[in-house]
């Protein structure tokens, strides 16, 4: 019979042959860990364009509970059509103290373009 040290050593260095019950058990334990581990344990955040510098998010106007912001395109990761609204919501929530709770919705997004037609920022109207 193998000692506990030998069992742990063979398991750590993955030296069991395929098809043995020890190999199957190790695979099951790995799969259980991958599938059952809560996502928030790893503090995973979506890819972003980088830290927000002063002036990259500017409040343009405020009318009642509607506010309009100008968000520089460099704040965001390269956008896809479906992820743009979510990325803008996250950027506004992370960068502005008054929006940290996230209790707002984006009502309108307008891209602002330079002379060559490239998007340089987004004008975002929110509803609080």
- The mean pLDDT of the chain is 82
pLDDT band at 81 (very low <50, low <70, confident <90, very high): low
The mean pLDDT value for 82-92 works out to 81
- 95: which residues sit within 8 A by CB, 6+ positions away? 52, 56, 57, 75
pTM above 0.75, yes or no: no
Write out pLDDT tens, residues 42-75. Answer: 776 655 555 666 778 888 888 888 888 888 877 7
Whether 118 has a pLDDT exceeding 60, the answer reads: yes
- Sorted by where each begins, the domain ranges of the chain are 4-42, 57-127
């Amino acid at each position: 019979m193998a000692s506990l040290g030998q069992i742990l050593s063979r398991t750590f260095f993955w030296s069991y042959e395929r098809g043995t019950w020890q190999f199957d058990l190790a695979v099951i334990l790995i799969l259980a860990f991958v599938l059952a581990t809560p996502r928030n344990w790893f503090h995973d955040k979506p890819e972003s364009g980088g830290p927000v510098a002063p002036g990259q998010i500017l409040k343009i106007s405020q009318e009642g509970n509607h506010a309009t912001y100008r968000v520089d395109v460099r704040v965001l990761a390269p956008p896809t059509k479906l992820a743009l609204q979510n990325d803008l919501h996250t950027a506004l929530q992370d960068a502005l103290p008054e929006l940290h709770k996230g209790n707002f919705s984006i009502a309108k997004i307008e891209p602002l373009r330079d002379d060559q037609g490239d998007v340089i920022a987004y004008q975002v109207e929110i509803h609080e």
